Structures are given as structure tokens and as C-alpha cells.
Amino acid sequence: MIELTPLPMTEAKAFWADKVQLGPGEFAKLSAEAKVRAFAVSGIAKGEELNTVFTAMQRAIDQGTTLEQFKEECAGIFERRGWTGKRAWRIDNVFRTNIQTAYNVGQYKQLSEAGDALPIWKYSAINDRRTRPTHRAMDGRAWPANHPIWDTWFPPNGFRCRCSVVGLTEAQARREGIEVEEADPTNTLVEPTDPDTGARMPARQLLPDPGFAHNPGKVYWQGMGDAIADRLEHWQPPVRVQALRDLIEGPVFAHWLAQPEGNFPVGLIDEAAMARTGATVRTVRLPVETAGELADLGAERLGEVLGELAASTDGTLTTLVNGRAVRLRIEVRDGRPLVVVD
């Protein structure tokens, strides 16, 4: 039996630590997908107070502290804004929405890494009086793990959403009598059931809440390559080299390679190579189109090949892919060194 780790999980902690603090105005200008990587609280400007709230949330994710402890840590900030009494719901909203997002980002990564061992994903809602009717209508329904519905419906699907996704083996799905669906019901009409009376409620469109129709885990993990590459440029050389080695040899690169998007950092060039090629940064990136041509090498062998390419004196390397000779070279575009296939 495969078991997924509850919070605090490494993936959730890494996700939170990677967030960028923004003021409410800056945050509002971002797309829903870009907001996954940012942190803002309406009514709190970027600065010391926002950082206090951010740090308290980090502690909650790292150590599993409670909502009450979170309130105590930030009491002065919340009281100055009148978030007490009937307005205390705003604190609950900040805490629960961010905790659930971090959890589900980590859950998505663990489920994805399970691969063929958990080929079926089931939507799971809490099903009490607080559960939204549309979320209740999704409860217990299952689709293949690679079904596009998860690009829209992987939780959280609204503020303070408590839904989650459960991975199943085919045998588990059969035992539970679960029918694995292929059609995507998004935007169709559903008639949810009242949890108290069992009566049918008025029909409505089956949609996540506004602003939540995306998969935060997929947005974060597949788009993280470029973000990591940008951060590497600001680290000291020994740290930068070790961090890059850990990335390539660890599960992050393999996960990105399975579903590549954007670019991924794969090597470093020296100052002489920068001067020769006109590069403005040291980090060599693997674009998604090149990754597709080299994926058959596997993550471990590809990592070795790309390391050799970055260390080569002329920025070229020939390797075999399925018995075919493939010539790789480093090409600079907009100041960034990229791996391309001739």
C-alpha cells in the first residue's frame, strides 16, 4: 500500500518558502496562476507587518501550529485592522486558504511521483454544512491521474476550501465500486443535494469558485525551473554548484522532465564562456523543446550529459539517443544560455 505523507511535508514547506511577498495592489494585477507563487493579505501593505504574517504561516506549515496560535502571533496586526468579532472570519480565511494551498501543492507532487502505482485520482470533499454545493457534487468522483480535469479541479477550489484528492490503485477503485470517468463535467449543470434534508437544490454550473480554476501544484512544480534558475544567479559559487547538482540528481528534475514546461537549470558556464558567447547569466537552461528530444535518455543519464555539455570548452557535445547521434550545443538567446539540438 502506498501512503502519502501528511503536513508538514517537505514539498509544502518548499512551496511556501519560495513565495514572494507583495502588496495588495501588486498582487491584484497578477493572473490566477501567478498568484500561486505570491503572498499578499488584503489590507496589509508590503513590509514588516506582512512579513510577520508570512513568517507565522511558515511556522504553521513547518511545525503544524494551530489557527489559535497563528492568531496570537499576529494579534496586534489583526486588531489594528478591526479583524475581531464578526470580522474574525478574515483571519480564518488567510490561514485556511494558504494552509490548504500548501498542502495540496505538496499532495499533487506526491501523487504525480507515484505515477502508475496510483493511476486513478478521486476528488474528496468534507461534506458538511460548510461544503459548497458544487464541491459536494464532485465528491467521490474519479478520473485517470493524467486527465485534464485536474488542471481545473485540483484543490483548493475556493477560499477556505477543504477538499483534497486521493490516489487509488485500480484494485482499490474496484473495491470501492468507483466508476472512473472519462468525460469532463466542468461547466455542465448539476443539482446538488442539501446535506441536511437530502432534497435536490437548484441546478447550477459545475465550476470552481472564481479565481480558483487552475491546479496550483502543477503551476508551481512545472513552472519552477525558470524561478530556480533566476535564484541561482544570486547565490555564492559553491552554494550554486551544490544546489544545481542536488536539483539534477534529485526527484525535482525527473518530475519536470516527465511534464516539462518552460526551462530548467542544468549547468553553469564560466566567465570566459560568458564573454565568448555574450551570455549575461551563468545558468544554462534546458528548454522544453530540447527536453522532448532527449527524454528517452532518462533523468539520470540526461543530467550527466548536460553536465558534460556545460563543462565543454566549445559548448558542444555529441551523444547517443536510441542509437542515434545527437549533437547538442549551447546557444545564447536574450543573454541566456540554452541547450539546443543541431
pLDDT tens per residue, the chain (342 residues)? 444 444 446 888 888 988 889 999 988 888 787 788 889 999 999 999 999 999 999 999 999 889 999 999 999 999 999 999 989 999 999 999 999 999 999 999 889 888 899 999 999 999 888 999 999 999 999 999 999 999 999 999 999 999 999 999 999 999 999 999 999 999 999 998 887 788 888 999 999 999 999 999 888 876 767 767 777 777 777 778 888 887 788 777 887 787 777 888 888 888 888 898 899 998 999 998 999 899 889 888 888 888 888 888 888 999 999 889 999 999 999 899 999 998
Place of cell 489590507: 43
Between CA 255 and CA 223 the distance in angstroms is 11
Dihedral sign (CA 273, 278, 284, 288): negative
Between CA 283 and CA 230 the distance in angstroms is 8
Exposure string for 226-250, b = 16+ CB within 10 A, e = fewer: bebbeebeeeeeeebeeebeebbee
Cell numbers at residue 93, please?
A: 480565511
Of the candidates 294, 289, 300, the residue with the CA atom closest to the CA atom of residue 327? 294
Residue-level pLDDT at 4: 43
